[in-house]
Amino acid sequence: MRIVTARHTVMLACAALGGGVTLSGGTARADGLDVSPSVVRPGQSITVSGGCQPTDRHVNITGSARGRGVVNDGWFSVSATPTKDRAGRYSIIAKCLTSNHSQNGAFQIRARHPDRDEGHRPHGGAMTGGGGTQEPDVPWTGFGFMLLIGATAVGAISLLRTRTTRRRA
């Protein structure tokens, strides 16, 4: 009975981990087609991966992205260029040549932020604030000197004690 309970516990843990991996959202998956990254900026290319029949040699990506690639042992991974540049969710189709097997997928284009435009160049000095060392409330330099003086005093006292004990012996 314990083996069955342990087996069920392991299966539940694996299912929970698998669910966490699929909900993390790195790639979009629909009908066995992987699109990575699933959210892109305008002009950014995507990678489309999936499976075909073992006899297929090429795959075409059509729809809202264009690409063409080679099928190796029934699997492909093709770089595709989106044909749209406006924000929204778009679908693509991967069609395997020879067998005409097709798969659907989707990706999303994120809107450009006006402050983060591609032509925007930074100007002026870096506004770092100096980190935590320049705050007037915490005297780190004085604290460091006090530690150094204390360590020197402890070292000098221990050196003097060893010299006096050697002279007495």
What pLDDT does 116 receive?
56
| Residue with tokens 């320049």, as numbered in its chain | 134
Q: Which residue has the higher pLDDT, 68 or 114?
A: 68
Q: Is residue 96 part of a domain?
A: yes
Q: Which residue has the tokens 């006006």?
A: 114
Residue 134 included in any domain = no
Q: Is 49 domain-assigned?
A: yes
CATH number at residue 91: 2.60.40.1930
pTM over 0.85: no
Q: Residue 85 — very low, low, confident or very high, per pLDDT cuts 50/70/90? A: confident
The pLDDT of residue 115: 56
Residues 6+ positions from 44 with CB-CB distance below 8 Å: 37, 82
Residue 91: inside a domain: yes
Region 100-112 average pLDDT:
88
Domain count, the chain: 1
| Cα–Cα distance, 95 to 31 (Å, whole number) | 13
pLDDT-based confidence at 12, cuts 50/70/90? very low
Q: What tokens appear for 117 in the block?
A: 């435009």
Mean pLDDT of the region 68-75 = 92
157, part of any domain: no
In the chain, what are the helix, strand and coil shares in percent, each to the nearest 5? Answer: 30, 30, 35
